[in-house]
Amino acid sequence: MARRFKVAVAATAAVAIGLSGCGSPSSKSDTGKADTGKISAQQAATDPNAKGPAEEAKDAKKGGTISIVAQTTPSTLDPTDTYYTDSNEIEKLTFRTPTQYDIRDGQPVLVPDLTDLGTVSADKLTWTFKMTSTFKYEDGTDVKVDDLAYAIKRSFAHDVYPNGPAYQLSYFKDGDKYKGPYADGDTYAGVETQGTDTLIIHLAKPFADLPFYMTFAMFTPIPKAKDTKQDYKNHPISTGPYMFDQYVAGTSLTLKKNPYWDAKTDPVRHQYADAWSFKWGGELVSLQQKVLNSAGDDANSLAYDEVDASLVPQLTGDKAKQLIKGESPCLYVLNIDTRKIPDINVRKAIAKAYPYDALSKANGNNDYTAEPASTFLPPGVPGHTKYTPFPDLTGTGAGDAAGAKKLLTDAGKLGFELSWYYDNTKPISQQISNIRADALTKAGFKVKAIGVTTADQRAKISDYDAPVNLAQGPRGWCSDWPTGSSWLPVMFESKAIAEGTAWGFLQDKTLDKKIEDVANLPTDQATGKWAGLDQEIMGQYVALPWYYTKMAVVSGTNIGGAVGDATVGMPFFPDLYLKS
């Protein structure tokens, strides 16, 4: 993931949705007590024998419209360009992929979807996936194995779909050369098909986690003849239980039942509701308060932004049952561009001045949704080790302006300019920017905060050539699957700049080799080595860890089946239904 998660109200993170190393979500508490949950490690579980149909919830009702509200806005619903967790969760309703996750007792388990879980060759460089049944698109036409292959080829058009996952660029054979079907045609050595049901992927280097990667929406089949390129995001073709009805980008989406989805072939998804209504925008607290009040149709709603701290005192008694809790091994940071801030003493001064406590309060962090961070690997990821934190890299503190100014003065950098983008349409984002600017100005920096709209912000922070040197994207990250290989190689290798996933913008070939040496080890051998690299990179002050996330969102009183989806730190939409 390493995914990108949904943009937080203030931090505006560009995370990868991760196949998170999330622990078991606590379901709804009947006690009314403030159980804020605990982050724990998760194992990568698989069930290659899972078959449809999915087991029905005992008290599930069918019918009605489920309403989903959020202040944050998905950047796109084109499957190839999807990497944020909010889009990923929504698209579990519309897209089937080669493999998928089932949530069992709060834990994600990898199971078949359109294909089996794959078979790898002896040299670990070829994976073979067999389709598990016959499937149809929303228009009644057959899903073909060639459509799976075409979707993979489409993902290499990273100039057209810059925000999508990028592991294939380095792991797939010739992935560093092939530029996708628009530029280079359909002939690509990394993917082939055999017969009507076999997909074969050739690798440049071993990729043990490939079956996990193939849960991403970018692997959903796309017929070449129906690929409308940049317009595809306005009505992508569904293979899941729901299909697009009406879509207004950045504002709303309604889904209706896909009549050609076959429950007998799907071991995970349901089609409980008749329709889904997504609405984005509005004021966060107001949206969540309406859901908590559950008057009229609001009882049928769920708000997927993390619960605001101001509403936490209400979460007692019956209202405690409206809180959906779970884990999300995601991390928010302040990203520092070392290409533009090469002096480590300047970076250390930023860390010393940084007002973590004031920013966390303004951001609405609370014990249900956040835990101060001091490492890059979150606690929910196997391999996490809590080492002695470096000075001023603890995710806590008021900031030391005088100490920071001395560092700048000694380095001959007093007045060094720091610049970043912020959302000038959201009060909390403005407040975050103002607090940061005030603290850094007092520390002797010159600051330049550039206001942009919500619609423009993700694109702006993802532009690595933009005239800013702080808070570029991704501002946060979630595991794409529960190992360190979906973190450190993706964020800190030199290739991360070209792939749009850089923290620190490092270009260090020696570090690249250290990371690759660990990544190429079997998972059980690599796990214990990630923490050492984590600590080594942290000492370069390339990003300031802020907080690890936990999932805590509110649902209406008529929402049933609400559990946490530990793969993205959001509620698991395929299980939701209305109680009446």
Examine the pLDDT at 178 and tell me if it is beyond 80. Answer: yes
165 is written with which tokens? 């996952």
Examine the pLDDT at 29 and tell me if it is beyond 70. Answer: no
- Which among 199, 164, 198 is positioned nearest to 75, based on CA atoms? 164
What confidence score (pLDDT) does residue 285 get? 95
Q: With cut-offs at 50, 70 and 90, classify the pLDDT of residue 36.
A: low
Q: How far is CA 288 from CA 71, 350, 552, in A?
A: 10, 34, 12
103 is written with which tokens? 């949530």
Please name every residue paired with 131 in a beta bridge, in sequence order, or none if there are none: 115
pLDDT tens sequence across 547-567: 998 899 999 999 999 999 888
Q: With cut-offs at 50, 70 and 90, classify the pLDDT of residue 15.
A: very low
What is the average pLDDT across 460-471? 97
Q: Which is it for strands 99-104 and 119-120: parallel, antiparallel or unpaired? A: unpaired
Q: With cut-offs at 50, 70 and 90, classify the pLDDT of residue 85.
A: confident
Mean pLDDT estimate for the chain? 90
How much of the chain exceeds pLDDT 90, in percent? 77
Domains in the chain: ranges and CATH: 327-550 (3.10.105.10)
What is the average pLDDT across 178-205? 97
Q: What is the pTM of this model?
A: 0.78
What is the average pLDDT across 476-484? 83
CB of 5 within 8 A of CB of 18?
yes
